[in-house]
Structure 1
Amino acid sequence: MMLKNADCTLYLYNKATQGFSRHIINGVYWRENKAGNVLRSGLQTADSTTIYLYSDDVKPLTVAKDMLIRGVCDFEFDNTNQQTISESMRNFKNTYNAVTVMSIDDYMFGNLPHIEISAK
């Protein structure tokens, strides 16, 4: 049985242009883990997000660059040049609560094919 509780928007990093392209992915499972560690220097958060994709039609490819947002987001990056990409990124980060892909595990086989993404 596939768990689905959200749609999400994937922003794929493009190495050639250093810009981002937007992709909507419907029917994903999105789980946020809130955690914190108290260190001598103070509180350090260890929040993470796990997303299950049930298709590999569109999936993250670049760890530490690709970003995800829970829900459908209509923000488009201006990939014209470095400056417009940089300005888009600033606006994007100030407006949306995006998570960055930290690992991609491909389990597209067996009785429950899925791709498990860990993000921060």
Structure 2
Amino acid sequence: MQTNGDMTHYSRKVVNGAESWTRTVIKDVLWVNTKAVNVIRSGLLDANAVEVYIPTQGREIAIKPGDVIVKGAISQPLDTQYLLGDLKREYADTVTVKSVDRYDFGSPHLHHLMIGAG
């Protein structure tokens, strides 16, 4: 699979009402931005989306809906001093994961995750 960069994954966890984020840089992904507009009866609706393809051969990657991903390798952790809103303001390609599909059939070289986000 051809890749075009890296991404940073922020995994969200809530324990006893306290939210925490774990940051992981994932190398060699294919990040695809889609810019679109849907026309509905009441007017225009933004339909921008992101698809990310992550080759999984030889690595275990756990991403779930609700997690946050950012295009590029980001060194900034999310904590009480640097919040999710700060991350979104600083990095335009910050999106929330909506779907995760695992494709692990066929040749091992074709195994990958497809992440849908927006």
Q: CA deviation at 1:40?
A: 4.1
Give the unaligned 5+ runs of structure 1: 79-83
The RMSD of aligned alpha carbons is 1.7
- Following TM superposition, where does structure 1 have runs of at least 4 consecutive aligned residues deviating by more than 4 angstroms? none
TM-score (norm 1): 0.82
Aligned residue for 1:12? 11
Distance 1:32 1:52 in 2: 12
Q: Note if 1:60 corresponds to 2:55.
A: no
Q: Note if 1:94 corresponds to 2:89.
A: yes
TM-score (norm 2): 0.83
Percent identity reads: 33
Aligned residue for 2:105? 109
Point out the structure with the larger strand share. 2
Q: 1:13-92 alignment to 2 at 5 Å?
A: 13-16=12-15, 17-55=18-56, 56-61=59-64, 63=65, 65-78=66-79, 84=80, 88-92=83-87
SS in structure 2 of the partner of residue 19 of structure 1 = strand
Q: CA deviation at 1:70?
A: 0.8
Distance 1:6 1:43 in 2: 32
Give the unaligned 5+ runs of structure 2: none
